[in-house]
Structure 1
């Protein structure tokens, strides 16, 4: 039997490997790919819904003769729902499971988006967009938590950035829908919303096919299910499972998994992040209160993440929610505005790709800070652009760096917290960021009326600088195991 003390570079005490350690030592397998793609499709559908709204706002604003204030309210109300959803989703995921909440959020926002296609007035649409936001806000931190808890430690950051890259796929799909469908007729925006029913159907797949978090199952005392989930991933790697006698004697009673057989994949795994307690939480451990996020070992991480999430949300949603509208306000037609937005959006994919490669080379903090710096410079360039080529170059750079930063942020957020509060911590950071995503759509158009496009994008650049300050305070966690206890 392979024990923790026999692993090269191990700093843990002698004994059999825990299930978490068994997962950390696996290569990337077909089981990981199924989880990544299954979660990523949900992520892309989420992005498509948010992205479609930026195009729909242009059409509805013209058809319904909405004032600046009404358009701002409609653009921000979904983010108010996302703030509430992110906080509640994280809490629920730490109590009833990651997969359950993931599926529920898809169902909620899919049905509400489909219903938005039938809205006959502004008040109804505002109410439905708030409900959509509840589902959208809860899904993102839960999905990233689930994927990060299965990803091997040595590539965890890269895997989560790849998950985040599905956001670009969804936003590009939204841009295509916006370009081809929304301007096609007066009912074009309704058909765009009708496409949002797809997530509700996809929720059935998530509920039946994606695995539940092993760490959550262990904390819930469901050790047989946890062992079964780990063995599926080990089997996908071609690793023989431990004997049932060994499991009964160790894992099912003490929460520690037996070691792997001789077919195990070699290679050291770094110890848990410094400053936090080690060891798996016992089955039936009590609920950890939200105030644990501000305990001595976690306080700096929480503050740093909240600042970073606030700055990134303000700049991203302020810019990308209104880019089509601002281009129209600057004299471009709706179709040309949507076409330019599609070109700009395509740059999100290479931004994610570069961030995914660099995050396990430079580390999380270095990638996040450098991509935020690039975002700030690009935002200033977009605001000062005086021609179509300059707009496209600056917009492409903004997409590239901003979305690469998003990928790194989603990678570092769940791994900054121990298992009992991981989804709560990720959800709370996301929820705090959503405050900025509520404010940004509300203030962008009024600011544009006062200080113009250049001034607005200077404000976005300042928000990126604020996010850089928060990111610089984060602890570097490249290669560390996910911690199990507070």
Structure 2
């Protein structure tokens, strides 16, 4: 009797591949868009400090808070809507569209004539940015081989540090140069609009998404593109069963609700602490007696500490696993925020700020690696977008909370509060699944509303 073997699915064919030039093109193509996004988000912290120092439009601290927060309101809407669209029309299309939206809106923001106009443009920028990040990480995770998937997504997230560093350089070199320096800085953020066309035609669509929509020929062509890059001969794969996207209610169905609750808690905690700290950091340093140029210079050095944080997270996520790495970096972030709260000299401000930056951005890398692994393919982008959208509620609240916290207890109370949120996030990680070395199809419960 001859033994028979099960046909190899296209997902399994992708998971068996080594990391190839095609994977590198995907990470670079997605990561460049990610870096441009980070540059835009990072620039607003320098714009706020410049507007306050120059007394543009007689802006108040409350208005500065709203300029920061309105972008995050757009990000909350964009993340949720973008995830839903990506599970219906595809990851690549949504990725390109979001780059175009926020790139054009950033260019328009440079022409703002009032606080109200700047806030409108910041909202539109947030719509595009909020949708892009979870969709890009979902696309990359669905192509990365299982044994290095977490590391590859952390590499993608590391482009955020490159973009934020570029923002810090622009903030340091361009913004203080003149009263119109902040306008020139925002004008540079319009570059993603030119890049959108490259993304739309250069990156492949997710094989797993294509199969759920019954687009088998396109899925097969995408797999063979990666197999050819690896020098691997293609094999026949079975026909997939098309599955409709179930919608956001499935996130709270039996089998997924505990994972969703844990994931949302981590996203909320890290957003509150990160954006509360880094959006206001240049302004807080100026308020504590630093000159505008010195504040921007310190922020640049603190930002550079993100890069080794990502590198260590990328190494540990396939050695320790997702939960342990994420929890460790969140705990380190809590320590860094607590130390920054107690900093009492220029040197300690710089060193503790670097510690916070190192651990915080390593935690972000681990979180983006974990998030797409929590849900099945038909719910993956929806779940990632919803978690990011819920987290953005915290990024809306955090900049608004900083001024009253400063009034109540100074910088120490502000960063002590951020430390407490990091601790909450670290505790919540233990409700997440550990998916190291597994395929995206392994141990992912199908919500009861979908399975039925």
The interval holding the TM-score normalised by the smaller chain is over 0.9
Q: Is residue 58 from structure 1 mapped to residue 49 from structure 2 by the alignment? A: yes
Q: Is residue 422 from structure 1 mapped to residue 380 from structure 2 by the alignment? A: yes
Distance (Å, rounded) in 2 between the aligned partners of 1:400 and 1:393: 11
Q: Is residue 135 from structure 1 mapped to residue 93 from structure 2 by the alignment? A: no
Distance (Å, rounded) in 2 between the aligned partners of 1:343 and 1:49: 18
Name the residue aligned to 2:157. Answer: 164
Deviation at 1:85, TM superposition (A): 0.3
Deviations, residues 430-481 of structure 1 (Å, cap 9, x unaligned):
0000000000011112211221000100000011011112112211111111
Distance (Å, rounded) in 2 between the aligned partners of 1:83 and 1:184: 33
Distance (Å, rounded) in 2 between the aligned partners of 1:39 and 1:104: 13
Question: After superposition, where does 1:257-296 map in structure 2 within 5 Å?
Answer: 282-283=241-242, 285-296=243-254
Distance (Å, rounded) in 2 between the aligned partners of 1:290 and 1:88: 10
Distance (Å, rounded) in 1 between the aligned partners of 2:311 and 2:327: 17
Which of residues 41, 53, 61 in structure 1 aligns to 2:32?
41
Which of residues 164, 173, 177 in structure 2 aligns to 1:184?
177
Deviations, residues 293-344 of structure 1 (Å, cap 9, x unaligned):
1122211110000000000000000000000000000000000000000000
Structure 1's consecutive aligned runs of 4 or more residues displaced over 3 angstroms after TM superposition are none
Q: Secondary structure at the match of 1:32?
A: helix
Residues 213 and 244, structure 2, Cα contact 8 Å, conserved in 1: no
- Number of paired residues? 440
Deviation at 1:287, TM superposition (A): 2.8
Question: After superposition, where does 1:80-119 map in structure 2 within 5 Å?
Answer: 80-119=73-112
Distance (Å, rounded) in 1 between the aligned partners of 2:23 and 2:350: 37
Q: Is residue 21 from structure 1 mapped to residue 12 from structure 2 by the alignment? A: yes
Q: Secondary structure at the match of 1:480?
A: coil
Name the residue aligned to 1:259. Answer: none
Residues 419 and 485, structure 1, Cα contact 8 Å, conserved in 2: no
Distance (Å, rounded) in 2 between the aligned partners of 1:289 and 1:403: 31
Residues 212 and 244, structure 2, Cα contact 8 Å, conserved in 1: no
Deviations, residues 339-363 of structure 1 (Å, cap 9, x unaligned):
0000000000000000000000000
Distance (Å, rounded) in 1 between the aligned partners of 2:306 and 2:272: 18
Name the residue aligned to 2:305. Answer: 347
Name the residue aligned to 2:286. Answer: 328
Distance (Å, rounded) in 2 between the aligned partners of 1:287 and 1:479: 26
Deviation at 1:485, TM superposition (A): 7.5
Distance (Å, rounded) in 1 between the aligned partners of 2:445 and 2:347: 52
Which of residues 183, 189, 206 in structure 2 aligns to 1:213?
206
Gaps of 5+ in 1: 7-13, 256-281
Distance (Å, rounded) in 2 between the aligned partners of 1:485 and 1:466: 26
Q: Is residue 406 from structure 1 mapped to residue 364 from structure 2 by the alignment? A: yes
Residues 68 and 446, structure 1, Cα contact 8 Å, conserved in 2: no
Distance (Å, rounded) in 1 between the aligned partners of 2:280 and 2:109: 20
Which of residues 203, 223, 227 in structure 1 aligns to 2:220?
227
Q: Is residue 150 from structure 1 mapped to residue 152 from structure 2 by the alignment? A: no
Which of residues 47, 57, 66 in structure 2 aligns to 1:73?
66
Distance (Å, rounded) in 2 between the aligned partners of 1:287 and 1:346: 40
Q: Is residue 241 from structure 1 mapped to residue 234 from structure 2 by the alignment? A: yes
Name the residue aligned to 2:338. Answer: 380
Residues 244 and 378, structure 2, Cα contact 8 Å, conserved in 1: no
Deviation at 1:64, TM superposition (A): 2.7
Residues 319 and 457, structure 1, Cα contact 8 Å, conserved in 2: yes
TM (normalized to structure 2)?
A: 0.96
Residues 420 and 485, structure 1, Cα contact 8 Å, conserved in 2: no
Distance (Å, rounded) in 1 between the aligned partners of 2:93 and 2:445: 22
Name the residue aligned to 2:449. Answer: none
Distance (Å, rounded) in 2 between the aligned partners of 1:48 and 1:356: 22
In angstroms, what is the RMSD of aligned CA positions?
A: 1.2
TM (normalized to structure 1)?
A: 0.89
Name the residue aligned to 1:258. Answer: none
Distance (Å, rounded) in 1 between the aligned partners of 2:191 and 2:60: 31
Q: Is residue 469 from structure 1 mapped to residue 427 from structure 2 by the alignment? A: yes
Q: Secondary structure at the match of 1:150?
A: coil
